[in-house]
């Protein structure tokens, strides 16, 4: 179903609003024309737009179940429950319906707010101190896990962070409810969210956070981290065929096409959707190159993408040329083989939970930003039980083309 603003124009269509303050409904009817809506994100069935000081999440569905009990209504009801229990969430103003479309209107919490995972990666990529952020996150999670919140999709992408306020709040309240007082085990399950920081947080630090936030001992915490890694791996494998198609088609979340040296290259993106390959930097010789037969080079690139999806820190394949040339960022300065074997062993255990095998610990490098990073993943790729998933058929680099600006 099309999520085109012209199909549900707030200024021309008759919307029936529930709980939305009349003055807000009036603002939408008077000024929220399609050309005034700024799309924040969109899928085939829903989209989020910003209009002045509001976010409007619009969904479209012909399904009877959605018509009888729309997601917008459920999210608004969840927000009301959270408010009664003093659980922080962005302010929900009301929801409405117009034909097969529904909309949820929320207030902008803070102009500098970003999702917590994006902010985390912005610190990591800039090699900035993460101590304050982790301390503030611990305080927020302490409130959350000790509350009666039941969240079926609890991850850092559903938490907003405001650097100005130095505070967090919940967003996207689908699959959210309020239940009874949580048990210690339920708190531990909620804190699996900490495993999303695994690429740059030492395992021991993660265990310490479990204890500081909810008094969860190392054994229980380690068990929950392992379960999180297994679940992430299962989901990644399930989604992999679709992810490969998206990656090879230049889906903006994962990849891009860039022209360099009279060819169009397939470029991998980082977690902030920034290209890992810069043509001007390549012209200055700032990348290490390796040329392979195209299918072998493609396998290397897709495996690097696979590791990125699992948040395994490594020197990634930045770009692939049609002639099979791979571009790698040069190793950061001041990298050495790590001396802390316990740290390495903990990371290797993470890898095993994700079905990855690394026999030579000397492939790990300890970088100046206190991060572990895999210098070479070739032996890990060779040990994969099913390498065919990294060898898609029919990939023709002659069809690659740059996006129109």
Residue 63 has what pLDDT?
Answer: 84
Q: Which domain holds residue 102?
A: 5-107
In a domain, 242, yes or no: no
In a domain, 316, yes or no: yes
Beta-bridged to residue 257, according to DSSP, are: 266
Domain co-membership, 148 together with 90: no
Please list, in sequence order, all residues whose beta carbon lies within 8 angstroms of the beta carbon of residue 170, skipping any fewer than 6 positions away.
82, 87, 88, 89, 90, 144, 158, 159, 160, 176
Domain co-membership, 362 together with 291: yes
Beta-bridged to residue 80, according to DSSP, are: none
Cβ-in-10-Å burial (0-12, 13-18, 19+) of 45 comes to middle
Query: How many other C-beta atoms can be found within 10 angstroms of the C-beta atom of residue 224?
Result: 20
Domain co-membership, 77 together with 124: no
The CATH number of the domain holding residue 28 is: 3.30.200.20
pLDDT digits (tens, 9 = 90+) for 19-55: 999 999 999 999 999 999 999 998 888 999 999 999 9
Q: Which helix (H) or strand (E) holds 51?
A: strand 46-51
Domain co-membership, 272 together with 389: yes
Q: What's the average model confidence in pLDDT over 182-192? A: 98
Domain co-membership, 367 together with 277: yes
pLDDT digits (tens, 9 = 90+) for 156-173: 999 999 999 999 999 999
Question: Higher pLDDT residue, 260 or 360?
Answer: 260
Q: Read off the pLDDT band of 368 (50, 70, 90).
A: low
The CATH number of the domain holding residue 120 is: 1.10.510
Residue 171 has what pLDDT?
Answer: 97
In a domain, 232, yes or no: no
Domain co-membership, 341 together with 271: yes
Residue 377 has what pLDDT?
Answer: 95
Q: Which helix (H) or strand (E) holds 287?
A: strand 287-291
Please list, in sequence order, all residues whose beta carbon lies within 8 angstroms of the beta carbon of residue 326, skipping any fewer than 6 positions away.
289, 290, 291, 292, 297, 300, 301, 317, 319, 320
Residue 142, pLDDT above cutoff 80? yes
Domain co-membership, 280 together with 376: yes
Domain co-membership, 264 together with 374: yes
Domain co-membership, 91 together with 205: no
Residue ending a domain, choose from 55, 78, 107: 107
In a domain, 158, yes or no: yes
In a domain, 221, yes or no: no
Question: Which of 36-45, 275-284, 368-377 shows the highest mean pLDDT?
Answer: 275-284
Domain co-membership, 327 together with 386: yes
Proportion of the chain above pLDDT 70, given as a percent: 98
Residue 405 has what pLDDT?
Answer: 59
Q: What's the average model confidence in pLDDT over 376-395? A: 96
Q: What's the number of domains the chain is made of?
A: 3
Domain co-membership, 126 together with 85: no
In a domain, 269, yes or no: yes
Q: How many whole angstroms separate alpha carbon 31 and alpha carbon 180?
A: 43
Residue 5 has what pLDDT?
Answer: 87
In a domain, 157, yes or no: yes
Residue ending a domain, choose from 79, 107, 135: 107
Domain co-membership, 296 together with 378: yes
Q: What's the average model confidence in pLDDT over 96-124? A: 96
pTM for this model (two decimals): 0.93
pLDDT digits (tens, 9 = 90+) for 281-328: 999 999 999 999 999 999 999 999 999 999 999 999 999 999 999 999
In a domain, 233, yes or no: no
């Amino acid at each position: 179903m099309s999520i085109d603003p012209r199909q549900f124009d707030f200024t021309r269509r008759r919307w029936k609003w529930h709980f939305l303050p009349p003055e807000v409904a009036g603002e939408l009817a008077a000024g929220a024309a399609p050309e005034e809506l700024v799309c924040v994100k969109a899928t085939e069935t829903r989209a989020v737009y910003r209009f002045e000081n509001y976010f409007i999440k619009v969904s479209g569905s012909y399904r009877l179940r959605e018509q009888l009990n729309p997601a917008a209504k459920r999210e608004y009801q969840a927000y009301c429950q959270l408010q009664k229990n003093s659980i922080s969430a962005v302010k929900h103003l009301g929801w409405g319906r117009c034909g097969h479309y529904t909309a949820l209107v929320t207030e902008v919490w803070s102009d500098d707010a970003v999702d917590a995972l994006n902010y985390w990666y912005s610190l990591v990529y800039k090699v900035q101190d993460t101590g304050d952020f982790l301390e503030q996150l611990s305080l927020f999670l302490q409130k959350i896990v000790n509350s009666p919140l039941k969240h079926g999709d609890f991850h850092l992408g559903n938490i907003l962070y405001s650097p100005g306020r130095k505070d967090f709040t919940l967003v996207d309240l689908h699959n959210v409810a309020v239940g009874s007082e949580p048990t210690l085990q339920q708190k531990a399950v909620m804190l699996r969210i900490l495993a999303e920081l695994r690429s740059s947080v030492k395992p021991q630090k993660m265990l310490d956070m479990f204890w500081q936030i909810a008094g969860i001992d190392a054994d229980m915490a380690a068990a929950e981290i392992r379960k999180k890694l297994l679940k992430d791996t299962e989901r990644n494998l399930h989604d992999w065929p679709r992810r490969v198609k998206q990656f090879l088609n230049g889906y903006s979340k994962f990849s891009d096409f860039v022209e360099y040296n009279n060819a169009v290259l397939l470029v991998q993106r980082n977690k902030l959707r920034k290209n890992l390959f810069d043509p001007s930097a390549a012209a200055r010789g700032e990348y290490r190159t390796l040329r392979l037969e195209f299918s072998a080079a493609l396998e290397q690139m897709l495996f690097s993408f696979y590791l990125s999806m699992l948040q395994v820190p490594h020197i990634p394949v930045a770009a692939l040329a049609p002639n099979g040339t791979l571009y790698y960022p040069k190793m950061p300065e001041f990298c050495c083989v790590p001396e802390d074997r316990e740290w390495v062993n903990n990371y290797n255990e993470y890898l095993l939970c994700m079905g990855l095998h690394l026999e030579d610990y000397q492939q790990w490098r300890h970088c100046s930003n206190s991060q572990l990073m895999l210098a070479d993943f070739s032996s890990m790729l060779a040990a994969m039980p099913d390498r065919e998933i990294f060898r898609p058929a029919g990939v023709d680099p002659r069809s690659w083309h740059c996006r129109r600006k």
